Amino acid sequence: MAQIILVTSFKGGVGKTTVSANLSYCLAQKANKVIVCDCDLESRCLDMLFKIKKQTLFNVCDVIAEKCAVESALCEIENCENLKFIPAPAFYPEAIQDEKSVDLFTEEAVGRFVDKLSEMADYVIFDLPARPDVLYKKLILRADLILTVSFHTAVSIRAAEKTAIAISEMCESENRRVPDVRLIVNAFHSGGAKKGSNAGLYEILEKTKIPLIGVIPYDAEMVKQQEKGNLADECTSPKSHFWNAINNVADRIEGRNVSLFNNVNVGYSNNKLF
């Protein structure tokens, strides 16, 4: 059975999709079978990060509605045979809380979908939207690990905290076990922390009760490459600090104990970051 991982935050644009793409690629490079699903029904974009050129025939909604077999919706990722991808629909205006979504994303249908994926992989990763819709709420109930992504800004940290509280409430209201929720501090730039214009790590840890699973540095080169459809691993030699930080998160998910800034230089001595 696979570990079910959700990547989320109620704040938009904090790197959920970037983390989903690179983390799933990284776990696959470590010889795990990984399936990553774009569940941002309103605004899909994971296909662009994976440079999927041809229009795919089926998407997550088709699989959940059992219009096709899971296998028919799986897309191959270039140079990474262990990683498979299921896109979100190109257009899904009914995504938010209307009758069609409620009918389609029943707990049973979403449960069957997750179970099928789980039989085929070691890790199944879901990239979620910032706004919780019906599918989001059903996936939460099936998660083993939830990665809440945050910049080191006050609003973003507050959103992460709010996300974690909402997840607990969603699970408790359904009498479900609350999954393991962890914080990824993304786009960390030590200059901001040093000057005090952005939160330092101590401040973040004081503001939120979510245990930290990784700190990923700000990386302008990664953004440039992302525009061209390149993942961090493919475009940097030697491996970038961004990629090494993703690798550290993957190691921790696999149960290895690696230090917070293992092979990651964020620019200043670590003391100043705290």
Ligand X SMILES: Nc1ncnc2c1ncn2[C@@H]1O[C@H](COP(=O)(O)OP(=O)(O)OP(=O)(O)O)[C@@H](O)[C@H]1O
Question: Where do contacts with Mg ion occur on this chain (CB under 5 A)?
Answer: 16-17
Order of strands across the sheet with 180-188?
75-76, 83-86, 34-38, 123-127, 3-8, 145-150, 180-188, 212-217
| Strands 180-188 and 145-150, sheet pairing | parallel
- Picked from ligand X, Mg ion, none, the partner binding residue 155 (CB below 5 to 8 A depending on kind) is none
| Cα–Cα distance, 80 to 27 (Å, whole number) | 11
Q: Which is nearer to ligand X, 33 or 43 (CB)?
A: 43
Q: Which is nearer to ligand X, 70 or 266 (CB)?
A: 266
- Picked from ligand X, Mg ion, none, the partner binding residue 13 (CB below 5 to 8 A depending on kind) is ligand X
Interacting residue with ligand X among 90, 102, 155, 223 (CB under 6 A): 223
Interacting residue with ligand X among 130, 157, 160, 193 (CB under 6 A): 130
Interacting residue with ligand X among 2, 5, 16, 135 (CB under 6 A): 16
* Other Cβ atoms closer than 10 A to 1: 10
Q: How far is the CB of 230 from ligand X (least distance, A)?
A: 11
| Strands 75-76 and 83-86, sheet pairing | antiparallel
Which of these, 213, 215, 209, lies nearest to 274 by C-alpha position?
215
* 186 lines the binding site for ligand X (CB under 6 A): yes
User: Residue numbers of the site for ligand X (CB under 6 A)?
Assistant: 12-18, 40, 129-130, 186-187, 216, 218-219, 222-223, 226, 242
